[in-house]
Every structure is written in structure tokens, then in C-alpha cells.
Amino acid sequence: EDQVTQSPEALRLQEGESSSLNCSYTVSGLRGLFWYRQDPGKGPEFLFTLYSAGEEKEKERLKATLTKKESFLHITAPKPEDSATYLCAVQKGGSEKLVFGKGTKLTVNP
Amino acid sequence: DSGVTQTPKHLITATGQRVTLRCSPRSGDLSVYWYQQSLDQGLQFLIQYYNGEERAKGNILERFSAQQFPDLHSELNLSSLELGDSALYFCASSQQQTSTDTQYFGPGTRLTVL
């Protein structure tokens, strides 16, 4: 069965304190790994798609990387507005549905 | 703003009732997906429609059904509601024209069953 595990469940950082979020996955025939950001009571907002091991993508203070077993979301010098829940999801070949992890709730204190 | 719209934003109803949630996909998107998000389960895939046809089913209860209309909007019908059906329901859409098939999510409908 496809599984996605995110760690830690919650993370508190001081503004400017860089860190990484982890997403471990088990899926046969990975088609894509997706990162979303979700603010309380709102819909997930698309951040990145990664397709193959070794791939990296960046957007502002965020950088996503992918290996054969996990993905990392690196946050460099975070700001309070980066506070949100970050969701990881996988999509397997032959299917369009996303299988989500439970997310990492990030709080960045000023 | 993702371009996906959902109505209503909030819905409060009683056990045993039936409700309909509505979703309009982004312009040009042919696929619509429904997900349920509860505190303990996270985001769970319910069902997918592509250009009016059911394409994939996930953990959707028999009390729940969906359809996609010729104008591509979709409705999720929930009947014989139970307390445990209280959750956020999200619709997502994608073009599904290529393998780079990003799903864009709507703002969700918060369902409360009392």
C-alpha cells in the first residue's frame, strides 16, 4: 500500500533559523511527488512537483529535493509568513490520485 | 487564488440529512477530484471525474456520490449524514493533458454535522 510519512509533525523556528522538513514515501512506480502549503481553513496551495531522484526545485526561501525514498523541503531564513502546514503527496504511475502525508505544521516566530 | 471555486464555504446540518457540495474547476481543466480532510485522517482521496466520466474511486462511502456535468462543474452528494462526516471537503482540478498533472485545490467546504 502506498504510504507517505512526514516528520516532524510540528516544528517551531525563530525567524531566520533554517531547517528541513522530511517526507518519506513508499510507492510502486513513482510518477511525481508534490509539495503543498496549507494555511488554516484554506485549500492546499501548490508549491513543487518532483519527478525523479536527484531533482531539485526552488522558490524564494524554499527548496525541495528528492531521493528514491524521501523528499526534503528546505526552508532558508524563514519569515513568520512562512508559518503554515506543509503537505507532501505522491502520485503513482497509472493513477492521478494523490496520497498525502499528514503534514508538518511549521511556526516561525518573529 | 487557484481558480477553483467551491460552494458553499460552510454547511451545518443534522444527522440523517443530505447535502450537496459544488465545485467549478479552473478554466480548461477536464479533471475534477474530491478529497476529504479530517483532523485524524488527513487528506483522503474520494473520487475523480474526467470530462464527465468517473475515472477513479478512493475511500468513498456508499452514502456519498458525485457527478460531473457537461459544463465540467462537479457536485458531491452526501446522504444519511453521520457525526463522523464532519470534515473539510476539497475539490481539485487538473488539465490532465500531459504527464505533468498538477492538481489545484479550491478553498473547501467545511461540513459540520450536529
Q: Do B107 and A42 touch (CB under 8 A)?
A: yes
Give me the residue label for grid cell 496551495: A45
State residue B59 phi and psi, 5-degree precision. Answer: -85, 55
Cβ contacts of A43 on chain B, cutoff 8 Å:
2, 4, 90, 105-108
Phi and psi at B85, nearest 5°, equal -80, -10
Q: Given this model, what pLDDT does residue B42 score?
A: 86
Please judge whether A103 and B94 are an interchain contact, meaning their C-beta atoms are less than 8 angstroms apart: no
In the DSSP assignment, the letter for residue A29 is S
B87 to chain A: closest CA residue? A41
HSE-CB at B98 with a 13 A cutoff on CA atoms is 2
pLDDT of amino acid B17 = 98
Residue B2 burial class via C-beta count within 10 angstroms: exposed 0-12, middle 13-18, buried 19 and up: middle
CB–CB contact A32 B43 (8 Å): no
Q: How far apart are CA B108 and CA B8, in angstroms?
A: 8
User: Model confidence over B43-101: pLDDT tens digits?
Assistant: 999 999 999 999 999 989 999 999 999 999 999 999 999 999 999 999 999 986 555 57
